[in-house]
Chain A
Amino acid sequence: MISLIYSSTEAMIVAAARLLEDGKTVFTGTGMPVLAALLAQRTHAPGLAIIFEAGGMCPVQPPTIPLSVGDSMTAKKAVMAASMDYTMSFIQAGYGEYAFLGAAQIDIHGNINTTVIGPYEKPKVRLPGSGGANDFGSLCWKTIIIMKQDTRRFVEKLDFLTTPGYLTGPGAREKAGLPCNTGPWRVVTQLGLYGFDDNKEMNLLALYPGVDIEDIRGNSGFTLKIPEKVKVMAEPTGKELGTLRELDPYGIVIRG
């Protein structure tokens, strides 16, 4: 029995890919998310519709992964080369089933920060800002946040609330005016897979083989809900890894 060797980046991408459903729409950015979407398409979800916010809708697998959500690879043999107004109206009308988000910081309710580290007026690090994140977080039915986990990222209080998760807790999104039944659904990190409980607080659903509970607890600035019996994810299969490595032949993400 050969033991497969894979990086934690690859493990995260495989875990994220397994979440996506055939026949649904997914909005994705560059990097791990687009690879997760392409991997899902090549494995269990051939009818997955991959859409890029700048207008590329359902491209056929291009010769290299997109470097930009607006570059020519996002529209190679696409169903439609539209516009940002078109795709954002599409999700606002309810057609955005899944969306991937990254985050510099996340809190227990899945609110995320991609604007600044440090105080807003004089940031230690100025990050790019919302981009399409706030739109996906506001309008898509199920967002999947894919990010590294450590105490600087899983924080009690965000330096800036860029994109809405569940805001302050149950009912807060709807009260504020966001569409009902939308919000963050899963968080994928290099340590585990998380969901949100009835209090709209992050809880552990499964961890990767080889990770223990202390790793999970020790790498969070807030108290994560951990069940009595913790599930362990199935390892990536040879097929998943092989397909993934074909999708990123230059290794710019999986070996990054």
Chain B
Amino acid sequence: MDVREAVSRFVQDGCYVALGGFGHVRVSMATIYEVIRQRKRGLVVSGKTAVHDLDVLIAAGCVGKVEVAYSFGHELRGLSPASRRAVETGRVKVASEWSNAALQWRFKAAASGLPWIPAYVMIGTETFEHSSARIVKDPFTGRPICLIPACFPDVAVIHVHRCDEYGNTQVDGILAEDFELARAARRLVLTTEEVVPNERIREAPWRTVIPYFYVDAVVEVPYGCHPCNMPTLYYFDEEHIAEYLKLTRSVEGTKEYLDKYVYSVDDFKQYLGLIGGAEKLNYLKELEQGRVRFIYPWAQPG
């Protein structure tokens, strides 16, 4: 299957989407650009640790609501101008507030087939009051405990290092929330750097983190995470992210960015040509290996 078909079949207007990876690490940017190209609207997004992935969707007008654990920020790079604008003007609504562990454990409950999972987070705060968690008296200890309801996203989209044609998946580096998310979502779309033979999986079955049962689509998209970091393979493209952050400070700039990098290309391969092609991609690989100088254009004043 290609990205166009996967998005067309599995991402509907208004559906609940959870993006795998960690905001700007191992995220399926290829899928996100296609969602934008197909002009999906009213998406409800799980803001688990949503950084560049969510920001681009919000900038493009695809998002209606967000359940927020961490959203609208670019971690060390600062706040996301496009997301802030959307939330502060009310175009994007915040449906609920969570902590990282709480949102992660919602997927864990769902993956375990349970309606909720107990925890000691969020207690006593307004974060709790804006969530759908409940506090009850623990029948064993007699003390208050927080119950976190399960979350079953309509679709999860996860970018991985390798999987076979059936979806048996290996991930290198941290899993972040994907071990649970892959099992919590009703539909799972995998984009992968590489499709490998089934035999490769069977040679080391302890390395499988997502077995085929949960997978609805496998799409091979090398560099599918650009401009974000794909651990062990390629680092952030800070130049591109800086361009994005600068342009999205304004509505006109946002349109310029999307026209140039999303709407004017038919697919992700054409996009890779625009961002610097093989030369840029090789540079990002060398950065990941620590072999060349790091540059942070957004850290410069102005």
* Residues of A in contact with B (beta carbons under 8 Å apart): 30-31, 53-56, 62-64, 66-72, 74-75, 81-85, 88, 92, 111, 115, 120, 122-135, 138-139, 160-164, 167, 172-173, 176-179, 250-253, 256
- Are A132's CB and B99's CB within 8 A? yes
- Are A68's CB and B121's CB within 8 A? no
The 9 A-B residue pairs with the shortest CB-CB distance, nearest first, are A177-B144, A70-B22, A55-B174, A128-B73, A63-B290, A134-B99, A131-B70, A72-B231, A88-B101
Expressed in whole angstroms, the Cα–Cα distance for A157 and B108 within the complex equals: 35
- Are B72's CB and A85's CB within 8 A? no
A-B contact list, 30 entries, CB within 8 Å: A56-B174, A64-B294, A67-B75, A67-B236, A68-B25, A68-B76, A69-B75, A72-B173, A75-B173, A82-B174, A82-B175, A84-B104, A84-B176, A120-B130, A123-B88, A126-B87, A126-B88, A128-B79, A129-B47, A129-B98, A130-B69, A130-B97, A130-B98, A131-B69, A132-B100, A135-B102, A138-B121, A161-B125, A176-B123, A251-B299
* Residues on B with beta carbons closer than 8 Å to the beta carbon of A53: 100
* Residues on A with beta carbons closer than 8 Å to the beta carbon of B302: none
- Are A138's CB and B175's CB within 8 A? no
Q: Return A163 CB to nearest CB of chain B, in Å.
A: 7
- Are B120's CB and A129's CB within 8 A? no
Residue of B104, B288, B294 ringed by the most chain A CB atoms within 10 A: B104
Interface check B23, CB cutoff 8 A: yes
Within 8 A of A (CB), among B94-150: 94, 97-102, 104-105, 108, 119-127, 130, 135, 143-146
* Residues of B in contact with A (beta carbons under 8 Å apart): 21-25, 47, 49, 51, 68-73, 75-77, 79, 83-84, 87-88, 90, 94, 97-102, 104-105, 108, 119-127, 130, 135, 143-146, 173-180, 229-232, 235-236, 288, 290, 294, 296, 299
Find the B residue at minimum CB distance from A91: B101
* Residues on B with beta carbons closer than 8 Å to the beta carbon of A92: 101, 119-121
- Are A54's CB and B97's CB within 8 A? no
- Are B231's CB and A71's CB within 8 A? yes
Expressed in whole angstroms, the Cα–Cα distance for A138 and B144 within the complex equals: 14
Q: Knowing A135-B121, A161-B125, say if A128 contacts B72 (CB, 8 Å).
A: yes
* Residues on A with beta carbons closer than 8 Å to the beta carbon of B121: 88, 92, 134-135, 138-139
Q: Knowing A125-B84, A176-B124, A178-B123, say if A72 contacts B25 (CB, 8 Å).
A: yes
- Are B73's CB and A160's CB within 8 A? no
Q: Return A207 CB to nearest CB of chain B, in Å.
A: 28
* Residues on B with beta carbons closer than 8 Å to the beta carbon of A167: 124
Find the A residue at minimum CB distance from B97: A129
Expressed in whole angstroms, the Cα–Cα distance for A42 and B27 within the complex equals: 33
Expressed in whole angstroms, the Cα–Cα distance for A122 and B87 within the complex equals: 9
Q: Return A62 CB to nearest CB of chain B, in Å.
A: 7
- Are B127's CB and A134's CB within 8 A? yes
- Are B76's CB and A163's CB within 8 A? no
Q: Residue A164 contacts which of B123, B130, B180 (CB distance < 8 angstroms)? A: B123
Q: Residue A252 contacts which of B22, B98, B145, B296 (CB distance < 8 angstroms)? A: B296
Q: Return A130 CB to nearest CB of chain B, in Å.
A: 4
* Residues on B with beta carbons closer than 8 Å to the beta carbon of A127: 72-73, 79
- Are B179's CB and A115's CB within 8 A? no
* Residues on A with beta carbons closer than 8 Å to the beta carbon of B77: 67
- Are B72's CB and A126's CB within 8 A? yes
Expressed in whole angstroms, the Cα–Cα distance for A85 and B180 within the complex equals: 8
Q: Knowing A88-B100, A92-B101, say if A75 contacts B124 (CB, 8 Å).
A: no
Find the B residue at minimum CB distance from A66: B76
Expressed in whole angstroms, the Cα–Cα distance for A71 and B25 within the complex equals: 6
* Residues on B with beta carbons closer than 8 Å to the beta carbon of A30: 75-76
Expressed in whole angstroms, the Cα–Cα distance for A135 and B130 within the complex equals: 16
- Are B101's CB and A84's CB within 8 A? yes
Expressed in whole angstroms, the Cα–Cα distance for A72 and B230 within the complex equals: 7
- Are A250's CB and B119's CB within 8 A? no
- Are B229's CB and A177's CB within 8 A? no
- Are B296's CB and A250's CB within 8 A? yes
* Residues on A with beta carbons closer than 8 Å to the beta carbon of B90: 122
Find the A residue at minimum CB distance from B171: A81
Residue of A56, A72, A131, A133 ringed by the most chain B CB atoms within 10 A: A72
* Residues on B with beta carbons closer than 8 Å to the beta carbon of A164: 123-125
Q: Return B96 CB to nearest CB of chain A, in Å.
A: 10
- Are A178's CB and B120's CB within 8 A? yes
- Are B176's CB and A55's CB within 8 A? yes
Q: Return B9 CB to nearest CB of chain A, in Å.
A: 29
